[in-house]
Structure 1
């Protein structure tokens, strides 16, 4: 897996400076090319800052983004909420904030036009606090920066914040797989034919490949960057223009790269994915002795497919029915948590960087979430949960981690206090962080008062060596089924 650049989208009230900000960052006057100075289409641009690439998407509430939001797809990694310092919160500011919150996008507040005589950044921060958004210098956790997009003030500070946030998100892609991404806009060019503005999310797109959506396909005869420079290939998170399609694809569609022989199969696969995203699935096996309900959120369609295949295997091996209440792309949302609570479902979060607020809500609602990045880890944890349910046993013991010592790739030495029941040598263990299951393991050494023991009971301190690949942190809870 290789690091990929962040994809940043800018939200805000009309005329608060979204496109001017992009102009300044790019040093290209985009606004003058647009009718009335207001952006009429989605445009994506890639820049390089301090050796790191950043992709910006200018989003004027485009239909493509509406469709992608409806599907829960995650194009943007980071949002910028831009607010004019001389005007304050406006209706579209509130709408933008609601969209950001709804999709749990990490975001930065950019207070623009601070060069204006009547600019009042502190008033903006007060108005934001009234909406429940507390910026960092007011004691909250939302980064904010004062800028003037027109006068190029504070732009470096904004770009620095984006790179810091991107580093925390740990954005990755698989360079060995065929490319996939989304159609942002479609163009019918009288000279070059049917073209599409796309953004690559994973894999690689090459000249000569076939690009396929659920409604169209075409052989890639050219690839250009946003400024018309010809490319031989494109990688995530690259915005590109490419052609030629046989007929107009639909803005908002997922695309996959294949070859001539795979066109129909991929089209059918994508059509099925479009139709089945939110349809419940029941995996039934003969002579099932139990049932489990799941909600699956993942980074890519390929991940959803892999998880479904794994679940079918587990259902067969464990003789159980599995009800998939919902499967979708993008980070876990409040709606997912409420659905899990109402349907008594476990949420699987696969290869996602969910916001801190979600983990706080998980604890409030007391729902269970499995948070993993590797498919075999998911298999191990699910099998452990199934065994617990089959024996109808609750946890035998529970330990709070109070200290961590040495660690290797497979062994973690920790100290803790038994807060319920007892802990025994050779016990299996589930590792919980903020009520989310993040790993599993086994107790291979147990000590009390630096003396090896076979078990430690409630209220007592102990030292343990856990055989696990999962890093254990202070504050984690270990469950012993």
Structure 2
């Protein structure tokens, strides 16, 4: 029979009756002992919270989900999956009807879960074994330490026992010696003073031994405080001081100071000697910040600011100072200064000149130029097809702007495929003299046209030899003689007419006389004696550069001397990089490229310009420094335009002796006006200055004209024509001066005035007056002074003078002083007396005459 308490516990919980509605506790508390250093510990309360999860059961009521419940459900699910097929087929209307594939997949999943569970249990067992092994090792180590401590305590106790026995024997000997001297006083001694009877019992003997050994026993260390005695060994307590058992010891700080002193002495340092100041060589550029200067001197920034304030320069630590101020600061701090310029980073960049014995012959670099539709591209394709290697490989697979042709004879020719003469001049304007020979293509049936004349002018400005290729000789209207006659108008005299210009009749479509053209190129190259040193670091020029997707910045480089290899660090203009790959004109990757070999270079960190130099450097830091300097200078040049093409700056350069001619580019609306302007310019020159017409043509001003003018520093004279928008933008960017005219007399007058201003002025002498020396005085400060009378005109201080004796000039110099009554005056007129002294001349006599004159500069005119 159940009790009343059990019946109450089984009753359902109702809200209309008084009671408590609560859940079980989910928080378990406990205490853990936490240990600290020096044997300290602390009790810490720890709470463990358990999460409870409820879900609706099969009966519809909520129940708590536990781990054991989950495992039971998993077992039931596995049993349901493993049930025979007949059991499932008995209830076709059930929602859990499974096919054979589903049952097989569930069986496989069950096997996998069992395998994972087995592996998990194996891992847990291994982990438990490992923890047990660690616990065993820790217990053994603890036992070993306890045994060592016990042995030490036993040894200390044995030593204390031995000391106590020695003291007891010594006390007994002293008592035995004193006993015969006082036999009568022994009975009168008090019981407390009598020696303890030792032979009565063993207990009294042990007690006496314990009493004697107790003061000498070492203090027992409490558990957990083994280091307490060691830590307090250097301290003196009150009880120890009163007992007199321990003396005063040295402090730990004193021991530490003594140890540091010994270390310094062993290292060779003198403790009392002040450190010597290090004198450094401080590298100072043109502009440097105060903080950077302090870092290079290894000084505090505040000290540098104080030094600047003493000099009267108020500058913060982030401001920049010039090199002169920095030099004063460096000398103030006692260092040595080394002044450098920003451009010094490029010193030694190109290396030393090559030894003539190390030079080897290299292939010539040829550029093909000419008028549109005169067969330049066809001729290039025809020359390219003569390449032995490309013929074997089945044709060129990639065009990179430059390629090398190997002839059957073994000779090589490098062709640069520039898009017209504009890029040719653009490269030359950057100082890149890439081309050795220019092939001028002229159609035999069309003759010389406007762009042919431009190509001739560009080739002449570059001062490179020209080979004329008269193309299309297979056409019916071809007349090569007429082409040769037209070339005479442009000062190109072919060999047939007694000149030195090679002219070859070729046909690109019929491949006629291509071998003769190649022979002419090789002959001209032999006359030029083209050589280079391949056994050095590579130097070259960028023919063209572009940004390709997937490859980055790609530059076509023509190596001029040295050998370029994969992995070299280089500088290309204001960009730098490392050679990741070299690709030739056939799309093949190569390991190196020698002189006059064009290759594509991958590995740039930016895209350079066509015509930029390409130089291999020794390390990455030097390459980055040069590239950063060039980027700064390029930005500065963009901000402040150079203005190299303005007429005023051209005049200033000619006045300074930097130029003796005025280069111009003439563009006109009609051919007659152009010829009249050019002929007028040719008549304006003389022996000192002259006008050089680089190019003259009919039509508007295009980009080619601006590029030519920018490369040569010329001005553009436009007569009744205008520049197109692209040319105007290019002229504005390169600061090329374009002058527009509508009256031909204004053109001639402006150029004549410019040339007149370029002429050196004429020196003209102007007479001022005569003076006669009446008396000669001596002055300790000035020397000899002539007392004179002005007989004609006037005399000015600082003017030129001549000393005449018997109408013969014996001295020509400058008047040093001009005085009247001890006062320095500017001039003295006729009929007055004055005193004169000459500059660096004292040989004067009475009756000598002085001629005074001035030199005036008179502008010359053409």
| TM-score, with structure 1 as normaliser | 0.53
Mapped partners of 1:218, 1:148: distance in 2? 44
1:208 matched to 2:535: no
2:525 aligned counterpart, secondary structure: helix
1:24 matched to 2:382: yes
| Residue number in structure 2 paired with 1:56 | 415
Mapped partners of 2:442, 2:528: distance in 1? 24
Mapped partners of 1:80, 1:19: distance in 2? 12
For 1:203-254, what per-residue CA distance to the aligned partner results, in whole angstroms no more than 9, with x for missing partners? 1110001221232111111101112111101111111111021121222211
Q: How does 1:226-241 map to 2 (within 5 A)?
A: 226-241=585-600
| Residue number in structure 2 paired with 1:158 | 517
| Residue number in structure 1 paired with 2:478 | 119
For 1:412-470, what per-residue CA distance to the aligned partner results, in whole angstroms no more than 9, with x for missing partners? xxxxxxxxxxxxxxxxxxxxxxxxxxxxxxxxxxxxxxxxxxxxxxxxxxxxxxxxxxx
Distance 1:28-1:132 versus aligned 2 partners, 3 A rule: closer
Mapped partners of 1:81, 1:270: distance in 2? 36
Q: How does 1:298-337 map to 2 (within 5 A)?
A: none
Q: Pairwise CA RMSD of aligned residues? A: 2.9
Cα pair 2:425 2:458 within 8 Å, conserved: no
Cα pair 1:46 1:238 within 8 Å, conserved: yes
1:255 matched to 2:614: yes
Deviation of 1:271 (Å): 6.6
Cα pair 1:186 1:250 within 8 Å, conserved: yes
Q: 2:526 aligns with which of 164, 167, 170?
A: 167
Mapped partners of 2:626, 2:564: distance in 1? 16
| Residue number in structure 2 paired with 1:196 | 555
Deviation of 1:152 (Å): 0.4
Mapped partners of 1:196, 1:324: distance in 2? 39
For 1:334-393, what per-residue CA distance to the aligned partner results, in whole angstroms no more than 9, with x for missing partners? xxxx9x977xxxxxxxxxxxxxxxxxxxxxxxxxxxxxxxxxxxxxxxxxxxxxxxxxxx
1:84 matched to 2:443: yes
Deviation of 1:15 (Å): 1.0
Deviation of 1:73 (Å): 2.9
Distance 1:230-1:62 versus aligned 2 partners, 3 A rule: farther
Cα pair 1:64 1:184 within 8 Å, conserved: no
For 1:156-182, what per-residue CA distance to the aligned partner results, in whole angstroms no more than 9, with x for missing partners? 000001001101111111223211111
1:95 matched to 2:454: yes
For 1:28-75, what per-residue CA distance to the aligned partner results, in whole angstroms no more than 9, with x for missing partners? 99xxxxxxxxxxx98211001221111011222366433322234310
Mapped partners of 1:105, 1:111: distance in 2? 19
Q: 1:6 aligns with which of 364, 388, 400?
A: 364
Deviation of 1:145 (Å): 0.5
| Residue number in structure 1 paired with 2:543 | 184
Cα pair 2:534 2:595 within 8 Å, conserved: no
Cα pair 1:212 1:218 within 8 Å, conserved: yes
| Residue number in structure 2 paired with 1:264 | 624
Q: How does 1:462-473 map to 2 (within 5 A)?
A: none
The structure whose residues are more often helix, as a share, is 2
Structure 1 unmatched runs, 5+: 30-40, 280-322, 327-337, 343-481
1:221 aligned counterpart, secondary structure: strand
Mapped partners of 2:530, 2:434: distance in 1? 12
| Residue number in structure 2 paired with 1:388 | none
For 1:82-101, what per-residue CA distance to the aligned partner results, in whole angstroms no more than 9, with x for missing partners? 10001111100000011111
Cα pair 1:254 1:270 within 8 Å, conserved: no
| Residue number in structure 2 paired with 1:65 | 424
Cα pair 1:9 1:59 within 8 Å, conserved: yes
Deviation of 1:133 (Å): 1.2
1:44 matched to 2:402: yes
Distance 1:136-1:42 versus aligned 2 partners, 3 A rule: farther
Cα pair 1:42 1:60 within 8 Å, conserved: no
Worse-superposed segment, 115-124 or 250-259: 250-259
Q: Which has the larger radius of gyration?
A: 2
Distance 1:8-1:192 versus aligned 2 partners, 3 A rule: same
The structure whose residues are more often strand, as a share, is 1
Structure 2 unmatched runs, 5+: 1-358, 388-398, 643-655, 660-684, 690-862
For 1:82-123, what per-residue CA distance to the aligned partner results, in whole angstroms no more than 9, with x for missing partners? 100011111000000111111111011100000111111011
Mapped partners of 1:273, 1:68: distance in 2? 19
1:80 aligned counterpart, secondary structure: strand
Cα pair 1:42 1:57 within 8 Å, conserved: no
Cα pair 1:42 1:59 within 8 Å, conserved: no
| Residue number in structure 1 paired with 2:602 | 243
Cα pair 2:559 2:596 within 8 Å, conserved: yes
Deviation of 1:273 (Å): 9.8
1:137 aligned counterpart, secondary structure: helix
Cα pair 1:222 1:242 within 8 Å, conserved: yes
Higher relative contact order (CA 8 A, sep 6+): 1
Cα pair 1:42 1:184 within 8 Å, conserved: no
Mapped partners of 2:411, 2:584: distance in 1? 17
| Residue number in structure 2 paired with 1:145 | 504
Mapped partners of 2:401, 2:495: distance in 1? 30
Distance 1:95-1:42 versus aligned 2 partners, 3 A rule: farther
Cα pair 2:430 2:611 within 8 Å, conserved: no
Mapped partners of 2:630, 2:529: distance in 1? 28
Distance 1:96-1:105 versus aligned 2 partners, 3 A rule: same
Mapped partners of 1:224, 1:272: distance in 2? 31
Mapped partners of 1:170, 1:270: distance in 2? 34
Cα pair 1:214 1:268 within 8 Å, conserved: no
For 1:176-212, what per-residue CA distance to the aligned partner results, in whole angstroms no more than 9, with x for missing partners? 3211111122222212222111111111110001221
Deviation of 1:26 (Å): 1.2
Distance 1:170-1:24 versus aligned 2 partners, 3 A rule: same
